[in-house]
Amino acid sequence: MQELLEKVIALAEEAGRMMTSENDVTIDTKGTKDNYVTSTDIKIEKFLREKLTSLIPGSLFMGEEGDIPEITDDCQYWIVDPIDGTTNYARGIPASVVSIALAEKDTVVLGVVHNPYTRETFHATIGNGAFLNGKPIHVSSRKKQNALVSLAWSTYDKKKAPLCFSVSQRLYYVCEDLRRIGTAAYEMCLLAKGSSDMLFEIRLSPWDYAAASRIVKEAGGFTSSSVGDLDLKEPCTVIVTNTETNMDFLKTIVVDEIRRYPNLGLKY
């Protein structure tokens, strides 16, 4: 696994160089008007699909910009976001990362998140701890009163925004402050290194959180959806915290707000 990890880190950093060196970037939208995809997303995903599947012959590839493969219990599969923080990238805001996870059944066994702007590479393999640029990292022990919370307000489906604002307001009057950076993978890694303490998003896709979820868990943190573990095959609500006490606190608020908006049909 160490040899494979080193190769994946090298590929993530090469993809990061592709991200920051592109000059002639075209920008399109997919689904809703605010959901961007750039020519660089496509280029990096094609590069990573080819390189990663050749590292493990027969492995499947699940990327944000491509078709979703049929995942079976006996296969290994890559879960990749070529650019997490695409809106930031499209607008020239230097806050985007490359996110690469390797999964077996319902478990992420390897996660790498690389930020080319800060030259930070986060990595973790199951049972072996979490690292930033090769140095061990660990979540904070801050209580909710001192917590910095990363969150978002359902950019691509604003019917869910009132629920997200309700959660935000309840957190704002208890915690230290809120942050919205626009890249869940990086914000989860900031939590893993102890910079922030909680994260909530009402709907993210597996490529947004798969790699960072392993990094958070190996750093001593906790991850959950609104109904259980994070789903590696379907989008879900994402709740991430530094401590179990804060997970109980945040999940209680999220589930309570989901109950208050039954018309959204969200699971809990």
Residues that bind ligand LIP (CB under 6 A): 64, 81, 84-87, 152, 155, 182-184, 201, 208
By C-beta, is 4 or 258 nearer to ligand LIP? 258
Distance, CA of 251 to CA of 238 (rounded, Å):
10
Minimum Å gap between C-beta 266 and ligand LIP is: 17
By C-beta, is 132 or 152 nearer to ligand LIP? 152
Q: How many residues would you count in the chain?
A: 268
User: What is the distance of C-alpha 105 from the center of its chain?
Assistant: 19
Minimum Å gap between C-beta 36 and ligand LIP is: 7
- Which residue sits closest to ligand LIP, CB atoms considered? 184
By C-beta, is 35 or 166 nearer to ligand LIP? 35
By C-beta, is 220 or 235 nearer to ligand LIP? 235
By C-beta, is 7 or 158 nearer to ligand LIP? 158
Minimum Å gap between C-beta 104 and ligand LIP is: 23
Minimum Å gap between C-beta 101 and ligand LIP is: 14
The structure tokens listed for 174 are: 């208890």
The angle, 0 to 180 degrees and rounded to 10, between the axes of the packed helices 161-172 and 244-260 is 140
Distance, CA of 225 to CA of 233 (rounded, Å):
13
Minimum Å gap between C-beta 186 and ligand LIP is: 8
Residue entry with tokens 């499947």: 60
Q: Hey, CA dihedral for 247, 267, 78, 58, is it positive or negative?
A: positive
Largest CA-CA distance found in the chain, in angstroms, rounded? 51
